[in-house]
Chain A
Amino acid sequence: MVKVKINGKTIKVEKKSTIIEVADSNDIEIPRFCYHKKLSIAANCRMCLVEVKNFPKPLPACATYVSEGMEIFTKSKQTKACQQDVMEFLLINHPLDCPICDQGGECDLQDTAMSFGSPKSRYTEEKRVVLNKNLGPLVSTDLNRCIQCSRCVRFLQEVGGMQELGLIGRGEHAEISAYVEKSVESEISGNIIDLCPVGALTSKPFRYSARTWEMARKSTISPHDSLGSNIEAHVKDGNVMRILPKENEDINECWISDRDRFSYLGVNHDSRIKKPLVKQGNVLKEIDWEDALQIIESKLHPIRNNFKEDDIAFFGSDQLTLEEGFLLKKISEHFSSNQVNYNPKIHVNYVSNPHLNIKINEIESFDSVILIGSNLRDENPLILQRLRKMTLNNKKIDLIHYEDQDLQLQLDHKLIKPIEKIEKSILEILEIALDHKKAKKNQTTESGLAEKLKTQNVLILIGQDFVSRESILGYGEMLNQLVKKSSTSIGFLPTGANSVGLNQIFNDKNDVDNKSYKASITFNHEPEHDSIDEDLHKEIIKKSSFNILISAYQTKQDKSYDLILPSCSHFENEGSFVNLENKLQTFTQVIPPKHESKPLWKILRVLGNYVECDNFNYESCTAVKKDAVKGLLSNKNNNLELINKQSKNNNKIFKFSINNSDPMVRRSKALQDIEHLRSTR
């Protein structure tokens, strides 16, 4: 700790902090543009220059470390002069087109100019003109407004892992540019829109559609991956206009993936189901909810229709909320049916309740991470971002996989072999690490990794793909021994927004037998994209006598269902998700339901009433949650519990693709456009 004086006030601060950090934590305002707490320090905007006693020149607060006895003046004459002068320089070539700029009203340059600038400029020369660049379907450029702070450049390089933008040209001709004929394709590129302190980079889909002060801000949770990113939906006239990250250092920090940011564009897609539909002959006919519920009562009432055990099958989705999962579980129990496929993306878990086992923000505390399986760039780009951050802090990441992955980070070891061989390698590594076996004389990647497990503080992250493979039964016990013996931790990477919550509610039982049923209900997913076994679903629908689809969107297989009920999209719904670190996060409705769609929990609740489930008188989602959370495992279980059961598992692996993860994402035009761009490279 050192003592410094800011504006005459003495404070004790950490030795390794910069002036700007000290000021920020003491509520002392220092204007800045290029500085961002998550990025490397550039010290190029010169807005944060402050006067420091005994230094002949003003010093940049972002790049100057405090030292004992330092006296800093953030409001002195010299500091103020610096601020005013830099502001004047920044504005001479800025177009000052605030009235037509999307950033207007939430612009750092505008705000700082108002607080620290001079009201008059003496610049009478011509202004610089910079041609705009096409950075793809997500980010729009107005480079005349750019103040060359280089935040976007540093973000893509340091956080995104790939230098996709750069400052080309010299002096006044310096401009932000992508590679020739290339757009920005990082899966977290949208964050540069938030980072840009001016209106040079704005959201292409959002452009010109609303002003910041016209929108209500509503917090919610992203439904697209197991991280549960905290997001803020900006709402105008009952529509989500845009999504911004909501800072949560423990989960998503201040970032979100492009999928989280632009999926809202799918909310109002043409394929939204407007009213309940019933199949008459070969056509689907719109009917009222009343009539639809009558049909449900007549077709599904278990006693009247003489339902026996396992006479009804349910196909859920990994995006079902905890409340929806709980109601579904109760309904299935009412029908005495074990035929629930709550997560169509996986066959089975061989480990009970696979989740991270540690907190997300603890990942970086390990010396090293060994990543086994998973397609992290598509499944969970922000967890990958944390690993990338570790490499920048000289920590090591290793990859063990059955197919090569470009993780955009510097790997220490990389072990890529076909699936059966890689499983043997994992066995070998663990055997050597536990001294069950001696390493071969010549150094192999396997022995290198085993050595690491013996000596370092390692986190092993295992992807969902390996949790669903029987082979984990072969080495699972060894993983347990390793945890006991060394400082190794094991974490799993489930993929769906509520995979962890649903695993707990349904005790990891995820099977539907291939037979004919009296009825089936499919929830909120499209088996042709979201199911690991599309054919099984198809066959069952074909064989079963009455099939219901409850979904927000029409699908290609619409005609195979007898009754279709419109449910809400995520933003119209409320409920809770359990994220990969086993954290329960509840969200509320952001916009009113579209057309005649209803929140799924309400549909289930009413459906339960019509089929006369017991204790189904929930009056609110909160009431359902109260009962639902009772089924969750609260204590952290370090020991991984293997599930040794016979399964019809055909060892198929589900291929995750970031912009094909759920129906809403598939209907977001911007996301599909960027996917198209990527696939045509």
Chain B
Amino acid sequence: MNEIIDKNIDFMDTKDFFKICLRTQDLKNPGSIKTYQSLGGYGQIAKILESKIDPQELINEIKISGLRGRGGAGFPTGIKWSFMPRDYDGTKYIVCNSDEGEPGTFKDRDIIRHNPHQLIEGMIIAAYIMNAQVGFNYIHGEIWEDYKFFEKALDDARKAGFLGKNILGSGFDFELHAVHGYGAYICGEETALIESIEGKKGQPRYKPPFPATYGIYGQPTNVNNTETFASIPWIIEHGGQAFMAHGVENSGGTKIFSVSGHVEKPGNYEIQLGMTFKQLLNEAGGVWKGRKLKAVIPGGPSTPVLPAEIIMDATLDYDGLSRLGSSVGAGSMIIMDDSTCMVKALKRLSYFFYEESCGQCTPCREGTGWVYRIINRIYNGKATLEDLQLLTDVSKKISGRTICALGDAAATPVLSFIKYFRNDFEDFIKHKKTVS
């Protein structure tokens, strides 16, 4: 049996797993409008439209809930929404960012597949709050089936009168469109995503101006992650306090962690923020094949890796992980067992960022290729110990100097891998292979 599992922890305490975004998951026909409505779905937007609730009141509720952007940056959603100029005279847009393309991310896909109507209702509420007329759900190009499924969900919502002109006879208009990308990671960056929706090449814009003042076609635009939007109906229904109560201070509510890698039961786990890492690992069946844990990337490759001895005591919430020098990110947790070759793992991650750099600004365009080539050289046994220093130097030169965060994302794994697993790299360079 797995030694890692600590018998003293009551990991089966279901209180720690509370489903909000994935609450239809275990029901029959989870993605259908019927199932969602059986849970009271679309009741919130009906209530809001009927009693014309003041949007400011709703924003306050979201602020109380402690909901933070689930795409990775963790910016408080209520504050972000209050940036939108409500009285702006002209079209405003809201955009759902379902362009999850980083290795190890697969939570938005499950929301679209299992609970699309909660997302749609969340977006309608958001449109009502920010007085937006048009919405887009930008779906990653490599999950075509889910894109088609979402289109069908939109059809159902339209037929039921939740989208289009004069929604539920309230005089409020909102149209939501599904857009699919073509698989470029960079299009998950909000301004590149906006460019892509406009039909241009997906390249991030320099900020400021931020999308709230200059977004799609130069109009005010609000971009949020799928999970963020999908949390909204529940918050409105049960109140901000109730959502907050499912998390800890500074990290309200539940969050989906997509656990992958060397675990027995990889998959999406919606947890209450603040849960310990041990509990989640146990829920995922522990490290596979009875092996020991070596390292964990807690929030996706753009968040720093943590070695087993550090992550073991972590609590999974924004503050908890940032205290340890990492972050929640998008919750794309990659588990690595003790047989993992860190050089090979970093090589694969660096190749990803090298391949996905948009090529617009110099440090990222030139630096990601350089970094990948050095690691590749290490992997091929053609490197010296000085190359480790060079690798760190080049990564630091990329970090903080680029238009968007991809540069930082590319540098993060390199710097953290070398920080925690320097010995692995030195041994590999000396022996030209992994020494286990």
Contacts and interface: CB of A to CB of B under 8 A. Distances in A.
B44 interface: no
Contact of A170 (B359, B374, B400, B403): B359
B362 A171 contact: no
A46 B390 contact: no
A20 to B, nearest CB: 13
A93 B363 CA distance: 12
A45 B400 contact: no
A57 B369 contact: no
Interface in B157-212: 184, 186, 201, 206
A92 B359 contact: no
A171 B403 contact: no
B354 A171 contact: yes
A174 B403 CA distance: 16
B362 A147 contact: yes
Contacts of A89: 362-363, 365-367, 370, 397
Contacts of B359: 148, 167, 169-174
Contact of A174 (B355, B365, B390): B365
Interface string A39-66: 0011111110100000011101001000
A249 interface: no
Given A167-B359, A174-B359, A43 B365 contact: no
B141 to A, nearest CB: 14
A85 B397 contact: yes
B202 to A, nearest CB: 9
A42 B403 CA distance: 10
Interface string A82-114: 100110111011000000000000000000000
B366 A172 contact: yes
Contacts of B370: 89, 92, 123, 125
A556 interface: no
Contacts of B100: none
B188 to A, nearest CB: 14
B373 interface: yes
Nearest to B374: A125
Contacts of B403: 43-44
Interface string A168-194: 111111100000000000000000000
B369 A46 contact: no
A626 interface: no
A122 interface: yes
Nearest to A82: B401
Nearest to B358: A170
Nearest to B390: A122
Nearest to B354: A171
Contacts of B361: 43-46
Contact of B365 (A56, A58, A123, A171): A171
Contacts, number: 97
A43 B369 contact: no
Nearest to B353: A171
Contacts of B393: 122
A286 to B, nearest CB: 61
B184 A170 contact: yes
Contacts of A56: 400
Given A92-B366, A93-B366, A43 B206 contact: yes
Interface in A269-287: none
A174 B354 CA distance: 12
B357 interface: yes
Nearest to A169: B359
A57 B401 contact: yes
Contacts of A47: 362
A261 B29 CA distance: 70
A86 B201 CA distance: 24
Contacts of A90: 362, 366
Contacts of A169: 359
Nearest to A43: B206
Contacts of B82: none
Interface residues of B, number: 31
Interface string B400-413: 11110000000000
Nearest to A65: B208
B2 interface: no
Nearest to B205: A43
A63 B358 CA distance: 19
B401 A170 contact: no
Contacts of B364: 171
Contacts of A86: 362-363, 401
Nearest to B402: A46
A174 to B, nearest CB: 3
A126 B373 CA distance: 9
B368 interface: yes
A521 B59 CA distance: 85
Given A46-B363, A86-B362, A89-B366, A172 B354 contact: yes
A46 B397 CA distance: 12
A240 B368 CA distance: 45
A63 B206 contact: yes
Contacts of A57: 400-401
B356 interface: yes
Interface string B357-396: 1111111111111100110010000000000001001000
Nearest to B359: A174
A44 B401 contact: no
A411 to B, nearest CB: 20
B400 A58 contact: yes
Contacts of A41: 206
A126 B369 CA distance: 10
Contacts of B401: 46, 49, 57-58, 82, 85-86
Nearest to A91: B366
B196 to A, nearest CB: 13
Nearest to B369: A172
Nearest to A172: B369
A408 to B, nearest CB: 19
A56 B400 CA distance: 9
B201 A171 contact: no
A169 B360 CA distance: 10
A455 B390 CA distance: 66
Interface in A649-670: none
Interface string A73-86: 00000000010011
Nearest to B361: A44
B131 to A, nearest CB: 25
B363 A172 contact: no
A60 B208 CA distance: 12
B365 A148 contact: yes
Interface string A3-21: 0000000000000000000
B394 to A, nearest CB: 8
B400 A171 contact: no
Contacts of B366: 89-90, 92-93, 172
Contacts of A123: 370
A477 B373 CA distance: 75
Interface string B323-358: 000000000000000000000000000000011111
Nearest to A62: B206
Contacts of A58: 400-401
Query: Which residue, B360, B374, B377, has most C-beta atoms of chain A within 10 A?
Result: B360
A52 B356 CA distance: 30
Contacts of B354: 171-172
A60 B367 contact: no
- Which 6 residue pairs spanning A and B have beta carbons closest together? A174-B359, A171-B357, A89-B366, A85-B397, A125-B373, A43-B206
Given A126-B373, A172-B369, 17 more contacts: A44-B362, A45-B362, A46-B362, A58-B400, A89-B365, A89-B366, A89-B397, A92-B366, A92-B370, A167-B359, A168-B201, A170-B184, A170-B358, A170-B359, A173-B359, A174-B358, A174-B359
29 contacts: A42-B360, A44-B360, A44-B361, A46-B363, A46-B401, A49-B401, A56-B400, A63-B206, A86-B401, A89-B363, A89-B365, A93-B366, A93-B369, A122-B390, A123-B370, A125-B369, A125-B374, A170-B355, A170-B357, A170-B359, A171-B357, A171-B358, A171-B364, A171-B369, A172-B357, A172-B359, A173-B359, A174-B359, A174-B365
